[in-house]
Chain A
Amino acid sequence: MSEQSWIRTLLPQRYPLLLVDRVVSLVPELSICALKAVTVNEPCYAGMGDGAAPADYAYPVSLMLESLGQTAALLWLRGQEPAATASVLLFAGVRDYRVEGGAFPGDVLRHHVEIERVVAETAFARGETWIGDRRVAQVDTLIAARRPRADLAGRAARPT
C-alpha cells in the first residue's frame, strides 16, 4: 500500500504537484509517515542560473507545506472512496507553520502527521517534517476541506 499507484488512487494531484513519493507507515484515522525526495530535476529548479548562491537552492517553503498537506490528506482520505470526481480537495488553512531548517536537493523529507479531528468534510491535523535526525518544520494545525466540484465550477473562469 506504500506505492505510488496506491497514493494516486487517493490524491487528485499529479505532476508537477504530486508531492508524496512513498508512505512508510499509516495507522488508519490516527497517524501517517510519508517521504518526499527533493531532487534538482524538479521544476522549481528549472529556471535557476549557474551563478545562484547555495541558499537559493533551498526547496521552496510553499512546496514543503504542500507536501506535508498532501501527507495529511492521504491519512484523512484512506479508506474513503477513491478520488471522487464529484468533489475537490482544498487546502483550507494553516496555523503556526514554523520553518526550522532548509531542505536541499538530495534531501528526503519525512513527514509525520496526526489527525486531530474531522468535522463533516473538514479535517484538522498537526505534523512535523524531518530530514534524518533534524526537524525542519512543524505545524500546529493544517485544515483540509472536501468540497463539491460543482461549487467551484459554478464560477465560470474568465478569459485571460
Chain B
Amino acid sequence: MSAEAAQTAEAAETAQTDTGWAPVPVPAFAAPLPALDALRVRHSTYGIEIHARTAVRAGDPNLAGHFPGFPVFPGVFLVECLRQAVDAAFSRQEGRAALLRVVRSARFLAPALPGDELSLVAGATAEAPGRWRVAAEWRRRDGVVVARAVAMFDEVVPDE
C-alpha cells in the first residue's frame, strides 16, 4: 500500500461520527418497559456500533410477576433492549426505524437481578440493502456476560 493509500485508509477509519452518551426518549411504540437509560452510537466505515446502558430496577412492575418474591430480569427483555437500542440508533437518522425480523441465536448465560446495571454492545453491519445483521453482548458491571445474541433487523422509512 502506498503512503497515500495508507493515509486515505486511515482517514476513512477515523471518518466516523460519535453521538456520545445521551438519554433515550421513551419509545413511541408498544413496549413492556422503557429498556434503555442511555445510548451511544458510533458510525464508521465498518458499520454501526451501538452502546446502551440499562439498570434492572427493583420497582419495575414486570418483576412483580417474574417471579413473585423472586425477581429476575426476563431473558426476553434483553431482546427488547436490543430492539429499542437498534431502533433508537436508526431513528436518529432522518426518522428511520428498525424492525426486529429474526433472532438467529440468543443465549442467556447468567441472571440479571435488581440492582444490576447492564451494558449492551452491539455491532450492526449491512448484509443487504435495508437489512442489518446485529451481534450483541450484554454484561453486568462485574464483567460477567449475561447474554449474547445475533439478530436481523430491517431498516424502514416510516410512512410520514
Look across to chain A and name the residue whose beta carbon is closest to the beta carbon of B35: A62
* A157 with B65: CB separation less than 8 A: no
* B64 with A14: CB separation less than 8 A: yes
* A96 with B104: CB separation less than 8 A: yes
Alpha-carbon gap, A63 to B62, bound state (A): 12
**A77 on interface, CB distance cutoff 8 Å:** no
Alpha-carbon gap, A156 to B129, bound state (A): 46
Alpha-carbon gap, A47 to B64, bound state (A): 19
* B102 with A96: CB separation less than 8 A: yes
* A65 with B103: CB separation less than 8 A: yes
Q: Which of B27, B32, B83, B101 has the most CB of A within 10 A?
A: B32
CB distance from A47 to the nearest CB of B (A): 6
Point out the residues of chain B lying under 8 angstroms from A92, CB to CB: 75, 107-108
* A98 with B102: CB separation less than 8 A: yes
Query: Interface size for chain B: under 10, 10 to 19, 20 to 34, or 35 or more residues?
Result: 35 or more
Stretch at the interface among B15-23, B46-54, B111-119: B111-119
Alpha-carbon gap, A53 to B68, bound state (A): 35
Contact residues of A: prevailing secondary structure: mixed
Given A12-B67, A88-B67, A63 contacting B76 (CB threshold 8 A): yes
Alpha-carbon gap, A74 to B26, bound state (A): 33
Q: Which of A56, A62, A88, A98 contacts B70 (CB 8 A)?
A: A88
Point out the residues of chain A lying under 8 angstroms from B27, CB to CB: 47
Alpha-carbon gap, A45 to B68, bound state (A): 23
**B94 on interface, CB distance cutoff 8 Å:** no
**A17 on interface, CB distance cutoff 8 Å:** yes
* B75 with A90: CB separation less than 8 A: yes
Alpha-carbon gap, A58 to B29, bound state (A): 8
Point out the residues of chain A lying under 8 angstroms from B77, CB to CB: 62
Alpha-carbon gap, A90 to B65, bound state (A): 14
- Scan residues 47-64 of chain A and give those whose CB is less than 8 A from a CB of chain B: 47-49, 52-53, 55-63
**B61 on interface, CB distance cutoff 8 Å:** yes
* Proximity string of chain B (1-38) to chain A, C-beta cutoff 8 Å, 1 when within and 0 when not: 00000000000000000000000001111111010000
B contacts, CB < 8 Å to A: 26-32, 34, 55, 57-58, 61-62, 64-68, 70, 72, 74-77, 79-80, 83, 100-108, 111, 113-116, 158-160
